Amino acid sequence: MQRAALLDAARALLAEGGREALGFGALAARAGLARSSVYEYFRSKSELVEALCTVDLPLWAAEVEAGMAVRDSAVERVEAYVRGQVALATDPVHRAVVAVAEYELDDAARGRIRAAHVGLTAMVVSTLEDLGHDRPGVAAALLQGVVEAAVRQTERVRGEDAAAAEAVREIADAAVRFALDGLRPVGPPAPGAACGPEAAAGS
């Protein structure tokens, strides 16, 4: 229970003040514990941050998966996959945890976190098979690239007012359109369709 309380306190500090606010003294005060108690659970800030990521990433993935599960068609599930991750990226706690992980974790720890993040891509593979992709794993990786680009765009949005919310919605809409248009399975060219450099140049 004390470990969970420390993780909750860390989330609150990150959401309120960013990575600079995540000191062990402040963490102990927020959790109502002695500073020495923090070291019983986490020997360093990087260990604390890795614990946060290890606990929270599966929960965030489950949120995205739950949003996909209630959709009927493959296209709707792809849309839910994109919108779910963009919505998560605007959550102050999610944004702060991801940001502090970039600064506090070493290469090995970041590798473990990235491996856990692969689960997000895996959950959309069967949906892409339903759309008719011969190589759904490749398509899933490309789709995740679109999502991550959209997330980076949301990070540029400042404020929490209606204008900021509308800007995030527009980014999500654009990402969904881009993903769905780009994820249409590529078939053979239609009979008589032009192809090659001369087609690009026009005739």
Q: What is the maximal distance between C-alpha atoms in the chain?
A: 78
pLDDT of residue 78: 94
pLDDT of residue 202: 42
- The topology under which CATH files domain 1-43 is Arc Repressor Mutant, subunit A (1.10.10)
Give dist(CA 181, CA 192) in Å, integer. Answer: 23
Contact 7, 55 (CB under 8 A): yes
- As its CATH architecture, domain 45-185 has Orthogonal Bundle (1.10)
pLDDT of residue 106: 78
**For residue 109, what are its two tokens?**
């720890």
pLDDT of residue 136: 92
CA dihedral over 140, 100, 50, 86, signed as positive or negative: negative
Domain ranges in the chain are 1-43, 45-185
Residues 6+ apart with CB under 8 A from 80: 64, 67, 68, 70, 71
Identify each DSSP E strand in the chain by its residue range. none
DSSP secondary structure letter of residue 169: H
Give dist(CA 70, CA 96) in Å, integer. Answer: 29
| pLDDT tens-digit profile, the chain (203 residues) | 889 999 999 988 888 887 788 889 999 999 998 888 899 999 888 888 888 888 888 888 889 999 999 999 999 999 999 999 999 888 878 777 777 777 777 777 777 767 666 777 888 999 999 988 889 999 999 999 999 899 889 888 877 788 888 999 999 999 999 988 875 655 554 444 444 333 333 43
pLDDT of residue 88: 86
